[in-house]
Amino acid sequence: MDARGRTLVVLMIAIGGPAAWCQNLGSLKNVSVPKAPNLERYVRDQDALIALGKALFWDMQVGSDGRVACATCHFHAGADHRVQNQLFNPLDSFRPNYTLTPKDFPFHMLSNVEDNRSTLLRDTVQAAGSAGVFRRMFSDLGADGISDDGFDAGDAPAFSVGGINVRQVTGRNTPTAINAVFYFRNFWDGRASNIFTGLTPFGDSDPRPNVLAESNGQLTAERVRLENSSLASQAVGPPMSSVEMSYDGRTWPKLGKRILALRPLALQKVAPDDSVLGPFAGREGRGLLPEHTYLGFVQAAFQPQYWRSSELVAAAPASGSRDFTQAEFNFALFFGLAIQAYEATLVSDDSRFDRFSEGDGGALTVLEQAGLRVFQGSGRCTFCHVGPEFSGASFTSVLQRGAVQPARNGTVADTGFFRTGVRPIAADSGLDARDDFGKPFSVAAVQNAGASLGIRGAFKTPTLRNVEFTGPFFHNGGQATLEQVVEFYNRGGDYIDDGNLGRGIRRLNLSSGDRAALVAFMKSLSDDRVRFERAPFDHPELCVPAGHMEILPNVLQPQSADPRFRLSAADKWAAVPVVGRRGNAAPLQTFDELLIGAGADGSRAHTMTEACTVP
C-alpha cells in the first residue's frame, strides 16, 4: 500500500468507526446467496425442495447400512464431533478404534513451537477424518427397505484389528457444511465443480446426458448443466462412496428405488416445531407423517417432465433389464439439487463480528478488536481469509478476480487456494490432482495450458466462521485448538521446504498478547444460532457410530451372529438429540472440551455421552 493509501485507511479508522475497520472483511448479511440460473427448468416448488433436502441430509436410511447419513459427519456446527475411530491410518501409525486425547495434538510436534526448524518430537501420516461405513460389498436392496443387503468384503487394510473390521475413516478432516454455499467450488481440493451435471461432482468433465426427460410420452436422455451449483456437485459424491455411505457397488437408480418408497426420517425423532420439517412431523414421535414419502416430496418439488413417465427404463443403456422408473433413474439430480437448496439455508451471518461490522462498536471486546487488527495487519491472515466469508475461495472473490489469479513467482493458481505447509506435498497434493474423467481439479490447469502453475499441495482456504466449534483443524485435522493453529502460522508453517507457499506464510513474530487476541477474535465469529442450534440450524435426532466395543484392550467385539457381517466390529452409538427451532438451552461443546470430556453435566450440547433411542 502506498503512503496515501495508508493515510486513507488510518483516516477511515479514525472517522469511520467499526464498519470502516472491517473493509476487507465485513458482514455476511451483505452477501447474497448464489443462485443457479435456470433452476426452474427442474424445480417448481422451492419450499418443498428445501424440506426434501433437509430430510435427505439428516436421514440415516440413506446410508447402505441404514445408519450413516450426511449428518453423521456434519452434525456439529456443520462438521464432525467424534473422538473414537476417527483416524485415517494409511501406515498403521495408530491403532484402529483409537480414542484421541489432548496429548495427541498437534500431530506434528516440535521442541520449540515458535521454530519450524527445531527438533521434531513427533510426526505422523495419519489424519483425523470421519468414520463412515464398514468395507462391504453391495448385493441388492435389503428386504427391510431401510438398508441395503451386502456382506463383509474381507479384511479392510488399516481398518481392522485381529481380523475384525472397524468402520472406515475418510482421508481428510470434515469441513463444515454451514456457509459452504458461498464457496465457488467445494471440497478441500475444489473437486466439487461449480457446474452441476446431474450425476458426478466433476462438472463439465462429465459430458454425459445424465437425466431422462419426458415429452409427449417419449423419454429422452438430456444433459444437465447448472451454474453456481457446487453444493449439488458435492452432494452426489458421498452416497456412492464406499468409505462414506455406500456398500461397494450400489448405483444411483438402486438408491432411488429404495429411498423414493420410504417415509422420510422414519427411524428418527423430528421436532413438531422444526423450522422446516415441523409441519410434516409425525404425531407418533418418529419420522414424517405416514402420508409422506420421498416420492411425494420429489413430485411436489420437481417439474413433472422429470418424473411423470410410467415407462420402465434400464439403469444404463447397455444393461438390458428395465427395472427402474424415470424418477428412480433421475434420483441423483433430485438428491443434489435438494441438498443444495437445504444447505443454502445454512447461512450464519449474525455473529458478534457481523454486528460490529454493521456499526455496533460494542459488539466486540477490546481484546477481540485488537485481534481483528492483528488478523488484518501483522498476522497477514486476510491475504487468504478475506471478505465476509473469511475465504478467498468465495463467490465474491471469484466474481471480482476471476476463477484464476496470479500466485507467487509468476505462477497462476485457483482463486483462494493456497499451500500453507501443513503437510509435505507428497502426502496430499490437494488441488493438484485429477478427477474420474482424467481432467485436473484445478481451473487454472484447465484454462491456462502452458502457464506455470502454483497449485501443488494447495487447499481451499476454509471459512473461519464458527471455527470455535469445528475442530480439529486443517485438512489433516492435526491441530486441536485455535492456539495451536496460531502457533503454526506464527512459526511460518511446518513443511516449508517443498515450496509453493502462499503469500503471508512466513515467520510472524507475534507477541503472546497478539496471539491471544487473534484467538479471541476468531471466537467472535460464532453465530449464537449455531452455538445453540436455533433455526435454521435445528435438526432431527441422529444416532452416530462413535467407535467400537472392545472385549479386552485391542480385541474388538464382533457385531452379530449375522453371517454376512462376521468381520464387523460391534458399534458404540452416541445420540445427537432432536432440537426444534428455538434451539438448545446449552451451547455446543467445543473440540477441546470433547477431548477432555467436559460438559457432560448438561452444560454443553453434543457431549457424545447420551444413549441412542433409534430402534
Would you count residue 379 as binding ligand HEC (CB under 6 A)?
yes
Stretch that binds ligand HEC, among 261-269, 303-311, 415-423, 557-565 (CB under 6 A): 415-423
Radius of gyration of the chain (CA): 24
Strand ranges for 223-378 from DSSP E? none
Q: Does 193 interact with ligand HEC (rule: CB under 6 A)? A: no
- Residue from 267, 332, 485, 608 touching ligand HEC (CB under 6 A): that is 485
- Interface with ligand HEC, residue 346, by CB under 6 A: no
Q: At residue 313, what are phi and psi to the nearest 5 degrees?
A: -130, 160
Collect all residues with Cβ–Cβ distance below 8 Å to 512 and sequence separation of at least 6: none
Under the criterion CB under 6 A, does residue 234 sit at the interface with ligand HEC? yes
Of the residues 196, 334, 489, 532, which one makes contact with ligand HEC according to CB under 6 A? 489
The minimum distance between CB 470 and ligand HEC, in angstroms, equals 5
**Cα 466 to chain centroid, rounded:** 13
CB-nearer residue toward ligand HEC: 222 or 495: 495
Residues 441-480 that bind ligand HEC (CB under 6 A): 459, 461-462, 464, 467, 470, 473-475
Quick one: 502 or 587, whose CB is closer to ligand HEC? 502
Cis peptide before 239 (omega within 30 of 0): no
Hunting for cell 418439488 — which residue is that? 301
The one-character DSSP state at 35 is -
- DSSP secondary structure letter of residue 50: H
| Closest by CA position to 68, among listed 304, 223, 250, 295 | 250
* Alpha-carbon span 146 to 275, nearest angstrom: 25
Is the link from the previous residue into 106 a cis peptide, with omega within 30 of 0? yes
Q: Mark residues 96-135: x for contact with ligand HEC by CB under 6 A, - for none.
A: ---------------------------------xx-x---
Question: What is the C-alpha separation between 327 and 252, in angstroms, rounded?
Answer: 11
Out of 146, 164, 199, 235, point to the residue binding ligand HEC (CB under 6 A): 235
In the complex with ligand HEC, which residue's Cβ is closer, 77 or 141?
A: 77
Closer residue to ligand HEC in complex, CB, 189/222: 189
Q: Which is nearer to ligand HEC, 313 or 413 (CB)?
A: 413
533 binds ligand HEC (CB under 6 A): no
Counting contacts by CB under 6 A, is residue 172 touching ligand HEC?
yes
In angstroms, the CA 590 to CA 579 distance is 18
Q: Is 187 in the site for ligand HEC (CB under 6 A)?
A: yes
Give Cα 604 to chain centroid, integer Å: 23
Work out whether 194 is an interface residue with ligand HEC (CB under 6 A): no
What is the SS3 assignment for 139? strand
Binding ligand HEC (rule: CB under 6 A), the pick from 201, 203, 238, 558 is 238
Please report whether residue 425 would count as binding ligand HEC according to CB under 6 A: no
Tell me, what amino acid is at 376?
Q
Contact code string over 61-80 relative to ligand HEC, x by CB under 6 A: -------x-x-xxx------
CB distance 129 to 87 below 8 Å: yes
In terms of CB distance, is 210 or 246 closer to ligand HEC?
246
Does 386 engage in binding with ligand HEC (CB under 6 A)? no
Report if residue 383 touches ligand HEC, rule: CB under 6 A: yes
Nearer to ligand HEC, 309 or 590 (CB): 590
Segment contacting ligand HEC by CB under 6 A, of 260-268, 289-297, 414-422, 533-541: 414-422
Compare residues 253 and 313 and give the one whose CB is closer to ligand HEC: 253
Short-list 95, 129, 190, 216, CA closest to 446:
190
Question: Residue 217: which residues within 8 A CB-CB, separation 6 or more?
Answer: 309
- Residue range at the interface with ligand HEC (CB under 6 A); choices 217-225, 235-243, 288-296, 400-408: 235-243
Query: How far is residue 234's CA from residue 204's CA, in Å, rounded to a whole number?
Result: 14
Cβ distance to ligand HEC smaller for residue 252 or 313: 252
CB 574 within 8 A of CB 543: yes
Burial track 475-513 (b if 16+ CB lie within 10 A, e otherwise): bbbbbbbbebbbbbbbbbbbbbeeebbbebbeebebeee
Contacts of 47 (CB under 8 A, 6+ apart): none
Residues 6+ apart with CB under 8 A from 6: none
**Under the criterion CB under 6 A, does residue 429 sit at the interface with ligand HEC?**
no
Which residues make up the interface to ligand HEC (CB under 6 A)? Answer: 57, 68, 70, 72-74, 129-130, 132, 170, 172, 174-175, 177, 180, 183, 186-189, 231, 234-235, 238-239, 244-245, 339, 379-381, 383-385, 418, 420, 422, 459, 461-462, 464, 467, 470, 473-475, 482, 485-486, 489, 502-505, 518
